[in-house]
Structure 1
């Protein structure tokens, strides 16, 4: 089993180190991560700047590790196409600090790395921790929780579910209540623009993390369960096949062709 690991918090993040140490129980681990925290930059591929790669010797026992001055998606693309000797069997992206919630997952570098892997038909999982800071985190307990998820997913490795979002609670093992598989509540938006004035009185806007101020959720949605002590696992489908919708749109254009010939 060849496993590729990446993240968006940078190669020196304690979250990615915890992920790597856990996944080494299951197979040969390769690491390709940004050389710094890329949470606040473009998570997509770098098209107008060169990407520089540095081999790293930071993680004992891995099959290979590299850092680069690019995005998480760059890490996956360069890893698959250039750096790894063979295509990996699985990608894990994370462990990111701060839960991946609602429609804001589409801004997440942790997710874009997984999406990039899915374009190569590589099953991918992006993992986040319900803590906004790497401080005051007991990583041995987090590794125990993540191990349970990784064990199940790697035993049932399949391309039929290409993308999974996993949120881990930041709790002691005795507080752990189980694993819930459920859709994400896509009505949630964690980041919102707020208006401020600069010293000259001009208005500008900044995206504010409103995690602590979010409106009450439905009790059976993913975030309340995460706060209660559950691991939440959500399949993400980016390439659905809506046959009925396709046929409907085809009728629109056939109708246009008919009207044109008349």
Structure 2
């Protein structure tokens, strides 16, 4: 008898976000899905964890294919809680984080709670995929489009064999399914500016500042994620953590020897 694939799913938009519902619905066709997600939006929390206050978890729903829990913590808290409690005896086959409301391209790898949770999974030695959906020209996300596009590409994504300590960062373009140009494996454009500081004033006239996310900026090439998503491709980018570059280590060692 074949074993049923076990998926652990989280996000940073909260357990009630549309994106995680789309992802769960698609995944439930391929195996058993356990959702452990923040009880509210936790965007931009990166890889942060909660250590000064206790975490509270609640089981929200259960059926034959999907079980849903909420945790009052960050995405990484949710991932840790799920792995250390629900999967303490047998690890999931794959961790998926998303679908994020908005693209996670380039520099977002450092800020995104969606990617942070997937990164935590690979630190546990598990394969992981972070998924995000770009907005359209009117700054909207059409989740019916997202569901159709994901349904088209999810199976090959689930079958990719990943090296140790490497996750996949997947972005779905903000275009109608018929206009999607295909899927591209691309580098992340970490040099493109992704945020700006906007000065404003509060009701008392004091200066305040907003951190504004930028998306419609020029990427360097179609071979990088920002530009490829803008042009209508589903992008897949490997993100690695772990061992330092040996060449860099040797270079630094030589410099230290020269300075001593």
The answer for the alignment partner of 2:246 in structure 1 is 243
The 8 Å contact of residues 6 and 92 in structure 1, kept in 2 or not, is answered as yes
Question: Is the CA contact 1:175–1:229 (under 8 Å) kept in the aligned structure 2?
Answer: yes
Q: Offset of 1:56 from its aligned partner?
A: 1.3
Give the distance between the partners of 1:113 and 1:205, measured in 2 at CA: 28
Larger radius of gyration: 1
- d(CA) in 1 for partners of 2:34 and 2:169? 21
Please state whether the residue corresponding to 1:56 is helix, strand or coil: strand
**Offset from partner CA, 1:180-217 (integer Å, 9 cap, x none):** 101011112322222334455543322122334x3x22
**Structure 1 stretch 247-256 or stretch 202-211: which is displaced more?**
247-256
What is the number of equivalent residue pairs in this alignment?
253
Spell out, residue by residue over 1:6-50, the C-alpha distance to the aligned partner (whole angstroms, 9 max, x if none): 001111111101101111122221110001111155751111111
Instruction: Please state if 1:114 is matched with 2:140.
Output: no
Residues 195-249 of structure 1 show CA distances to partners (whole Å, capped at 9, x for unaligned) of 334455543322122334x3x2234132232122210111112225411211233
Which secondary structure state, in structure 2, belongs to the residue aligned with residue 33 of structure 1?
strand
Q: In angstroms, what is the RMSD of aligned CA positions?
A: 2.4
In structure 2, what is the Cα distance between the partners aligned to 1:200 and 1:56?
A: 42
What secondary structure is seen at the aligned counterpart in 1 of 2:52? coil
5+ residue gaps, structure 1: none
Q: Which runs of 5+ in 2 are unaligned?
A: none
Taking structure 2 as the reference length, the TM-score comes to 0.87
Q: 1:227 aligns with which of 226, 230, 233?
A: 230
User: What displacement does 1:255 show?
Assistant: 5.5
